[in-house]
Amino acid sequence: MPEKNAVEMRGVTKRYPRVLACDGVDLSIRQGEIHAIIGENGAGKSTLMKILYGMVRPDEGSITLNGKSLTGHSASDSIRLGLGMVHQHFMLIDPFTVAENVVLGIEPVRAGLFIDGRTARERVERLSSEYGLALAPDERIENLSVGLEQRAEIVKVLYRGADILILDEPTGVLTPQEVTELFVVLRALRESGRTIIFITHKLNEVIELADRVTVMRDGRVTGVVSAAETTPAELARMMVGRDVLLRVERREATPGEAVLVVNKLSAVGRKGTHVLDHVSLKIRSGEILGIAGVHGNGQTELVDAITGLHATSSGNVTLSGTDITNLRPRTIRDLGVAHVPEDRLERGLVPEFTVAENLLLGHHHRAGYSKRGLIDVAKMEEHARELIVEHDLRPADSSISASHLSGGNQQKLIVAREFDGAPALLIASQPTRGVDIGAIEFVHTNILKMRDAGAAVLLVSAELSEIMTLSDRIAVMYGGRIVQEFEGGTVSEEELGRYMTGAAGAEAAVEAEGTAEATGAAGGTA
């Protein structure tokens, strides 16, 4: 049987007012293969997929899907031809059940009028057991883990009869175990004859999972290779156009005095649950402590509690011997705490403000930048120019609004601002989320530079490779507690993963609770 192409795109071009998103792109996806598409942010891979899916109209080029030539097609046309997309941000309705989400839009009906709940459940069960997805049809989405939500998305796509699945950055939110399980599912789907298009920027995953790889840069295809015959370094070079340090070089840490000491810190969340439960940690100057954990296990609250953004209920935080527990955020910043927040658009910058204004935020009240309550605009511009040059922000224009920068450059802006003025403690939360490898290299190099200059660094990241590359010590958070601490380089990703999901370390947690109670009792009798 001759090899048939499931997808054939020829000379696809899409121009936007300021950029050429796709520039004569050719893409061939063979039937029954797992095909990875990699490229940095803005390389054009999302636009290309949106064109294929029918959400964006190309200016030029031809598209053939399962042998059918398409012109001016819509998303529902491509769904009908067997294309399905698992979006990066899940398209699920939280209060609905799995079954309701799956059948939405193509509901099985009885008596010509009512939703046939039983058939819906049966269909979900059958699809889920066929590929080992272990999904309960009646569970509500809001009660599922991210990994299970993703499975619900996959079943939703399969229910619609897709034989070509596009997965957009599917592993970004998963734990190592969930990634392994996802790969098993994807291989099973390939066995059943389905074609999988896998968009990612994680090179190791590409090598592990894909059959072939298409690499994109600046709207063009820079290479199509077989995954078995390539290396991460070669892929990175095709993606970036130069050699890239996939792992930054680091010297041994030379820790000094303790800078941050967190002592039995507890905090209560919105719903009255204990989001932080007797967390203790210590970071010395010239040392990086990495916090690994699945999102939502207290990392966000820990950072917020240290920076004064979340009130604590007991315990304390000291910075170089000064008690900073529950002080105002501005006071804490002025004492030498810099913070790269996890959500850059929410807390990192004001998107509508100019680059110069954003670079000044948080320093604006300090001597030299403002006089009698008025900002010294000339000083602000000078400050911005210096930082832009020093950190190679692009475009090098301090007067455009921050919303016009790429994600990578927004992150560089925040890093430039926060690292300015030699902070004693640097807190970096998800510092490379959604940025390209060029920017990752930049952020990592700068974090290490700060450490070597004597800063204490608290690094929180969902990206285990990042934690493992940078950290001198690694603490794992689970359920609002630190369940285990490791010296850097002494632990594998799999082992970290087991602690992150609570599979290991349960005894340690129980022990910690015992100690806490014991101290509480001792305090009572004293």
Partner 1 sequence: MFELVVLDSALRMATPLILASLGGLFSERSGVVNIALEGILLTGAFASILATYYTGDPWVGVAAGIFAGILVSLIHAAVTVIFKADQIVSGVAINLLAAGATQFLTWITWGSSSNSPPVVGMAPWSLPEAWGPVARGINVVIGHYPPLVYVALVAVAAAHVVLWHTPFGLRLRATGEHPGAVDAIGVSVRKMRFAGILLSGALAGLGGAFLALNTHQFVKNMSAGRGYIALAAMIFGKWNPVGAALACLLFGYAEAVQMGLQGQQVPSQFVQMIPYVLTMVALVGVIGRTRPPAALGKPY
The binding site for partner 1 (CB under 8 A) comprises 74-76, 79, 85, 87, 91-96, 100-101, 104-105, 107, 109, 113-115, 156, 160
Cβ neighbour number for residue 160 with a 10 Å cutoff: 16
For the CB of residue 130, give the shortest distance to partner 1 in the complex, in Å: 21
Nearer to partner 1, 78 or 409 (CB): 78
For the CB of residue 20, give the shortest distance to partner 1 in the complex, in Å: 26
For the CB of residue 460, give the shortest distance to partner 1 in the complex, in Å: 27
Nearer to partner 1, 101 or 297 (CB): 101
Instruction: Please report, for residues 348, 360, 366, 368, the alpha-carbon distance to residue 377 in angstroms, rounded to integers and kept in the order given.
Output: 21, 10, 14, 11
Cis peptide bond prior to 58, omega within 30° of 0: no
Structure tokens given for 56: 């964006």
Q: Could you give the CA distance from residue 408 to residue 342 in angstroms, rounded to a whole number?
A: 14
Nearer to partner 1, 105 or 395 (CB): 105
Structure tokens given for 386: 């210096």
Supply φ then ψ for residue 233, to 5 degrees: -65, -40
Residue bearing tokens 């309550």:
373
What SS3 string covers 358-411?
Answer: HHHCCCCCCCCCEECCEECHHHHHHHHHHHHHHHCCCCCCCCCEHHHCCHHHHH
The burial class, CB within 10 Å (0-12 / 13-18 / 19+), for 299 is buried
Structure tokens given for 336: 């030498």
Residue 470 · residue 496 · CB < 8 Å: no
For the CB of residue 146, give the shortest distance to partner 1 in the complex, in Å: 16
Question: In DSSP terms, which residues pair with 69 in a beta bridge?
Answer: 64
Nearer to partner 1, 153 or 287 (CB): 153
Nearer to partner 1, 160 or 347 (CB): 160
Structure tokens given for 420: 């300015």
Nearer to partner 1, 105 or 514 (CB): 105
Whose CA is closest to 413, among 394, 438, 433?
A: 394
Q: Could you give the CA distance from residue 412 to residue 388 in angstroms, rounded to a whole number?
A: 9
Structure tokens given for 109: 């009906």
DSSP letters along 249-292, please? --PPP---SEEEEEEEEEEE-TTS-EEEEEEEEEEETTEEEEEE
Q: Could you give the CA distance from residue 149 to residue 130 in angstroms, rounded to a whole number?
A: 17
For the CB of residue 106, give the shortest distance to partner 1 in the complex, in Å: 8
Nearer to partner 1, 115 or 261 (CB): 115
Nearer to partner 1, 160 or 190 (CB): 160
For the CB of residue 93, give the shortest distance to partner 1 in the complex, in Å: 5
Nearer to partner 1, 10 or 87 (CB): 87
Whose CA is closest to 235, among 485, 38, 381?
A: 38
For the CB of residue 163, give the shortest distance to partner 1 in the complex, in Å: 17
Nearer to partner 1, 151 or 444 (CB): 151
For the CB of residue 90, give the shortest distance to partner 1 in the complex, in Å: 8
Residue 397 · residue 381 · CB < 8 Å: no
For the CB of residue 270, give the shortest distance to partner 1 in the complex, in Å: 12
Nearer to partner 1, 79 or 414 (CB): 79
For the CB of residue 115, give the shortest distance to partner 1 in the complex, in Å: 6
The amino acid occupying position 322 is T
Q: Could you give the CA distance from residue 295 to residue 263 in angstroms, rounded to a whole number?
A: 22
* Contacts of residue 490, Cβ cutoff 8 Å, sequence gap at least 6: none
Q: What is the largest CA-CA distance in the chain?
A: 83
Nearer to partner 1, 110 or 330 (CB): 110
For the CB of residue 49, give the shortest distance to partner 1 in the complex, in Å: 13
For the CB of residue 268, give the shortest distance to partner 1 in the complex, in Å: 17
Nearer to partner 1, 7 or 92 (CB): 92
For the CB of residue 150, give the shortest distance to partner 1 in the complex, in Å: 14
Question: In DSSP terms, which residues pair with 484 in a beta bridge?
Answer: 476
Strands 212-217 and 34-39: parallel
